[in-house]
């Protein structure tokens, strides 16, 4: 599983987006799961 993310963030709202961005900036591989569809 070399493509597996280090962190899974559930929810791409404001808090999830900021958390994912900060974690990615720190060098973690992040996967964000969001139920809604955004354009």
pLDDT at 1: 60
- pLDDT category of residue 2 using cuts at 50, 70 and 90: confident
Tell me the pTM: 0.83
Helix (H/G/I), strand (E/B), else coil: 23? helix
> Where do the domains of the chain lie?
1-39
Q: Which tens digits make up the pLDDT trace of 5-34?
A: 999 999 999 999 999 999 999 999 999 999
Say if CB 5 and CB 27 are below 8 A apart.
Answer: no
Helix (H/G/I), strand (E/B), else coil: 10? strand
**Beta partners for 10?**
33
């Amino acid at each position: 599983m070399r493509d597996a993310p280090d962190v899974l963030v559930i929810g791409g709202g404001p808090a999830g987006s900021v958390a994912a961005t900060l974690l990615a900036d720190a060098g973690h591989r992040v996967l964000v799961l969001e139920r809604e569809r955004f354009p």
